[in-house]
Amino acid sequence: MTSPSELDPFETHTGRPRSMPAPPPPSPPPAFDNTEAAPVYARFTDTDTMTLPPDPFIARPASRSAGITAQNVSAWFGDHKVLERVSLDMAPNRVTALIGPSGCGKSTFLRILNRMHELVHGAALAGVVELGGTDIYRGNLPVTETRRRIGMVFQKPNPFPTMTIAENVVSGLKLSGMKSTRSYAEIVEDCLVQAGLWNEVRNRLAAPGGSLSGGQQQRLCIARALAVEPHVLLMDEPCSALDPTSTRRIEETIAEICERITVVIVTHNMQQAQRVSQSCAFFLAGENEPGRIVESGPTERLFSEPEDTRTLDYVRGRFG
Amino acid sequence: MTVLDARPIADAGDVPLRVVVRRNPADRVYRGVARGGGVATLTLMGFIGGFLLLRSFHVLNARGFAFLTEKRWLAAQNGPFGIAAVLPLTFEIAIVAIVIAVPVATVAALFLTEYAPRRVRRLLTSLVDLLAAVPSLIYGLWGLFYLQPHLVHVSKWLSDHLGFIPFFHVQNGTALSAFTSSTFIAGVVVSLMVVPVCTTVMREVFAQAPQGEKEGALALGATKWGVVRTVVLPFGRGGMIGGTMLGLGRALGETIAVTFIISPFFQPRASILANGTHSISALIALNFSESVSNPTARDGLIAAGLALFVVTLGVNAIASTIVARSRSGASTEI
């Protein structure tokens, strides 16, 4: 266990070695494989999210997805234990949804996966988190590089308001000191297309990021997160503040990017979890007890025939 | 209360309702007190300005534009007097102070809000507040007896190596005595007093930088400095400018420390390292005792005070406007 004193909330590694070791091979096959029930996504035909023909000038990066594994993860805020021995495999190229009522530790778990948890004063954690087989807490990977590889989209859209839309997209490249062979203009277009925002903003890339609507801001944040070429994208209730149209577009974006990136999404919306995810984990915290995973597995099974009655009650909307 | 009219509301006519707010007595008393406080502040300001204007009016009237163009101050000797030298020199001292204080204050404020461990932060914050409370006389004494003997070497070095820049050029700059009592030394001492004011203003603004945006930057793989550059500094820009202006206001009015350091000089000049400078507040302090018995000289000093009052008021008005305008991205809250 890591005691609170060992976690310095102000510690930030500066400078990333220019030559990072190549990402290790993907982790072993996931514990829960859902090959039988391949999900079918509704394809909307509006211009913004139409599947684009392959563009020879935009080289789509090959899959860089890496699985992320948590073993026996516990978490504390001061003396208050919020998570207990949570283990979960989040397989590469899949969408894993974390569901459960408020206060059950889903978001805390998500923030542990990219080392954002330790930024909170008094926060502590125990257990092992591995990205493609590399321990992100005990390994040699600098924390900034860990966070670049494991991107995050937050509940509340947080574009940089003083930057333009285009600057927002490439901000991560500058912040993480990442070198890219592609020009900024290409990256801006590619990432905005992936995030389903390109058609709405193509003529005003120089407008401030704050001038967009909430749903557009959130898609801008997704584009920004994709620009640094993460292996994993964590999404903390990305649609909870958005209208249904924006929600739909973001779900389509998730379906598209999970071909290349591992996605972990926290959601309060049961239908959303069913729509976007292939795997699902149900978190629950008893009264005055830390949160635990009650059940995890293929989304289809968890929603149709869960093993635990509490899961059944939750997914049927009987509580939470 | 009247009984609600039974007619449909549509019949009342499509005109804006006259909104009447009935306040309870406690609310009315509170509003009265608050309003009284606000009015008192403005009244006080008006009284000071009015007094200065009234007392100096006949002098200003008699001297006319000469008051603004005359460099010498020979009022006590019944000679000509004006602020053409002391006003620019006042600004020179203040600008030297700001140029030194603002970078120091910015870095200190960033350290306090972003880098310092929690316990150190609390300690240092109260220390900075304490520094702001140290009487300027103490700064003046320390500056005169400790800083000046050391700073003259810095002045000489600057003059020797950067003398080709007009600011650092000193004629006959071979002896150390040519560098004492200069604008530079007075400015350094004043900057010590300005740093805590600037730091406090900037720290408060930096501390309000939105957590969501900071986490957004961190989640992209940013270092601490990256967060400061992309989120904290753009957010705090208004506060930095405001803090600078408030510091400038304080620097312009600083009296006793400047009075200690300077040797009076009545010629505006570019060189900040050379012996001899002046400021309006130091002028008033130095000439006051010999001027009280001479009405013209006394009211001339009051006229100089009026000039300082107007300038300081202007600087602070600009500062508060900038602070209030805050940042361009403030509208991003959903």
The CATH number of the domain where A197 resides is what? 3.40.50.300
Number of domains, chain B: 1
Q: Which of A298, A252, A260, A243 is nearest to A276 (CA)?
A: A252
Q: Please, what is the average pLDDT of chain A?
A: 82
Chain B residues whose beta carbon lies within 8 Å of the beta carbon of residue A16? 221
Residue found under tokens 């107007």:
B310
The more confident residue out of B226 and A1 is: B226
pLDDT at A33 over 50: no
Please report how many Cα atoms fall inside a 13 Å half-sphere around the Cα of residue A186, on the Cβ side: 11
Task: Establish if B188 belongs to a structural domain.
Answer: yes
A158 touches chain B (CB under 8 A): yes
Task: Establish if B83 belongs to a structural domain.
Answer: no
Q: Which residues of B42-80 are buried (b: 16+ CB within 10 A; e: fewer)?
A: eeeeeeeeeebeebbeebbeebeeebeebbebebbeeee
pLDDT at A38 over 50: no
Task: Establish if B123 belongs to a structural domain.
Answer: yes
Q: Which residues contact B324 (CB under 8 A, 6 or more apart)?
A: none
Long-range contacts of B320-326 (CB under 8 A, 24+ apart): B320/B242, B322/B238, B322/B241, B322/B242, B322/B245, B323/B201, B323/B238, B323/B239, B323/B241, B323/B242, B325/B238, B326/B238
Query: Which residues share a beta bridge with A68?
Result: A90, A131
The reply to whether residue A210 touches residue B329, judged by beta carbons under 8 angstroms, is: yes
Task: Establish if A47 belongs to a structural domain.
Answer: no
Which pLDDT belongs to residue A191? 93
Residues B257/B193, Cβ–Cβ less than 8 Å: yes
ipTM surpasses cut 0.90: no
What does the pLDDT look like over B114-137, one tens digit per residue? 999 989 999 999 999 999 899 999
pLDDT at A8 over 50: no
The reply to whether residue B213 touches residue A178, judged by beta carbons under 8 angstroms, is: no
Residues B221/A147, Cβ–Cβ less than 8 Å: yes
Q: Which range has highest mean pLDDT (B138-152, B158-172, B228-242)?
A: B138-152
pLDDT at B16 over 50: yes
Q: Which of A216, A212, A168 is nearest to A188 (CA)?
A: A168
Residues A256/A198, Cβ–Cβ less than 8 Å: no
- Evaluate the CA torsion angle A289, A273, A87, A128 in order and state its sign: negative
Q: Which of A98, A175, A92 is nearest to A131 (CA)?
A: A92
Residues B272/B185, Cβ–Cβ less than 8 Å: no
Task: Establish if A56 belongs to a structural domain.
Answer: no
Residues 43-72 of A with CB under 8 A from B: none
Q: Look at strands A68-77 and A123-131 and give their pairing.
A: antiparallel
pLDDT at A303 over 60: yes
Partner residue facing B217 (CB), from A157, A162, A175? A175
Identify the band that residue A127 occupies on the pLDDT scale cut at 50, 70 and 90.
very high
The 10 Å Cβ neighbour count of residue A188 is 24
* Domain around A87: 65-315
Task: Establish if A42 belongs to a structural domain.
Answer: no
Which pLDDT belongs to residue A231? 93
The reply to whether residue A12 touches residue B223, judged by beta carbons under 8 angstroms, is: yes
The more confident residue out of B325 and B303 is: B303
Identify the band that residue B9 occupies on the pLDDT scale cut at 50, 70 and 90.
low
pLDDT at A266 over 60: yes
Which pLDDT belongs to residue B137? 92
What are the φ and ψ backbone dihedral angles of B84, each rounded to 5 degrees?
-65, -25
For chain B, the distance separating the N- and C-terminal CA atoms, rounded to the nearest angstrom, is 40
* Domain around B312: 94-332
The reply to whether residue A14 touches residue B225, judged by beta carbons under 8 angstroms, is: yes
Task: Establish if A263 belongs to a structural domain.
Answer: yes
Determine which of B112, B121, B211, B223 to mutate to test the interface with A (most A C-beta atoms within 10 Å): B223
Which pLDDT belongs to residue A288? 86
A225 touches chain B (CB under 8 A): yes
| pLDDT-above-90 percentage for chain B | 55
Residue type, A112: I
Task: Establish if B130 belongs to a structural domain.
Answer: yes
Query: Which residues share a beta bridge with B254?
Result: none
Tokens of A256: 């598209």
Question: Rounded to an integer, what distance in angstroms lies between the CA atom of residue B261 and that of residue B273?
Answer: 13
Which pLDDT belongs to residue A2? 43
Which pLDDT belongs to residue B77? 85
B321 touches chain A (CB under 8 A): no
Which pLDDT belongs to residue B325? 67
The reply to whether residue A158 touches residue B225, judged by beta carbons under 8 angstroms, is: no
Q: Which range has highest mean pLDDT (A22-31, A37-46, A55-64, B37-46)?
A: B37-46
What does the pLDDT look like over A63-116, one tens digit per residue? 567 889 999 999 999 999 999 999 999 989 899 999 999 889 999 999 999 999
Tokens of A65: 């997805």
The more confident residue out of B327 and A125 is: A125
Chain B residues whose beta carbon lies within 8 Å of the beta carbon of residue A12? 218, 223-224
Partner residue facing B219 (CB), from A12, A152, A162? A152
CATH code, B183: 1.10.3720.10
pLDDT at B104 over 90: yes
Q: Please, what is the average pLDDT of chain B?
A: 88
Please give the residue of chain B at the shortest CA–CA distance from A151. B219
The more confident residue out of B4 and B263 is: B263
Q: Which of A274, A10, A252 is nearest to A119 (CA)?
A: A10
Q: How close B122 gets to chain A, by Cα (Å)?
A: 15
3-class DSSP state for residue B82? coil
Question: Rounded to an integer, what distance in angstroms lies between the CA atom of residue B81 and that of residue B72?
Answer: 5
A119 touches chain B (CB under 8 A): yes
Q: What separation in angstroms does the CA of B146 have from each of B158, B185, B259?
A: 19, 11, 16
The 10 Å Cβ neighbour count of residue A203 is 8
3-state secondary structure chain A: CCCHHHCCCCCCCCCCCCCCCCCCCCCCCCCCCCCCCCCCCCCCCCCCCCCCCCCCCCCCCCCCCCCEEEEEEEEEECCEEEEEEEEEEECCCCEEEEECCCCCCHHHHHHHHCCCHHHCCCEEEEEEEEECCEECCCCCCCHHHHHHHEEEECCCCCCCCCCEHHHHHHHHHHHCCCCCCCCHHHHHHHHHHHCCCHHHHCCCCCCEHHHCCHHHHHHHHHHHHHHCCCCEEEEECCCCCCCHHHHHHHHHHHHHHCCCCEEEEECCCHHHHHHHCCEEEEEEECCCCCEEEEEEEEHHHHHHCCCCHHHHHHHCCCCC
What does the pLDDT look like over A195-227, one tens digit per residue? 989 999 999 999 998 889 988 999 999 999 999
| pLDDT-above-90 percentage for chain A | 54
Number of domains, chain A: 1
Identify the band that residue B4 occupies on the pLDDT scale cut at 50, 70 and 90.
low
Please give the residue of chain B at the shortest CA–CA distance from A15. B223
| Rounded average pLDDT over A175-186 | 87
A12 touches chain B (CB under 8 A): yes
**What is the CA A315 to chain-centroid distance, rounded?**
22
Question: Rounded to an integer, what distance in angstroms lies between the CA atom of residue A269 and that of residue A274?
Answer: 9
Which pLDDT belongs to residue B12? 61
| Rounded average pLDDT over A35-43 | 43
Task: Establish if A31 belongs to a structural domain.
Answer: no
Residues in chain A: 320
Partner residue facing A171 (CB), from B210, B215, B230? B230
Which pLDDT belongs to residue A18? 43
Chain B residues whose beta carbon lies within 8 Å of the beta carbon of residue A216? none
Query: Which of these ranges, A166-180, B42-56, B163-177, B178-192, has the smallest mean pLDDT?
Result: B163-177
Task: Establish if B131 belongs to a structural domain.
Answer: yes
- C-alpha radius of gyration, chain B, whole number: 26
Residues 131-160 of B with CB under 8 A from A: none
A306 touches chain B (CB under 8 A): no
| Rounded average pLDDT over B247-257 | 90
The more confident residue out of B228 and A8 is: B228
For chain A, the distance separating the N- and C-terminal CA atoms, rounded to the nearest angstrom, is 31
Question: Rounded to an integer, what distance in angstroms lies between the CA atom of residue B158 and that of residue B184?
Answer: 11
DSSP structure class, residue B4: P
Residue type, B142: W
| pLDDT-above-70 percentage for chain B | 93
pLDDT at B154 over 60: yes
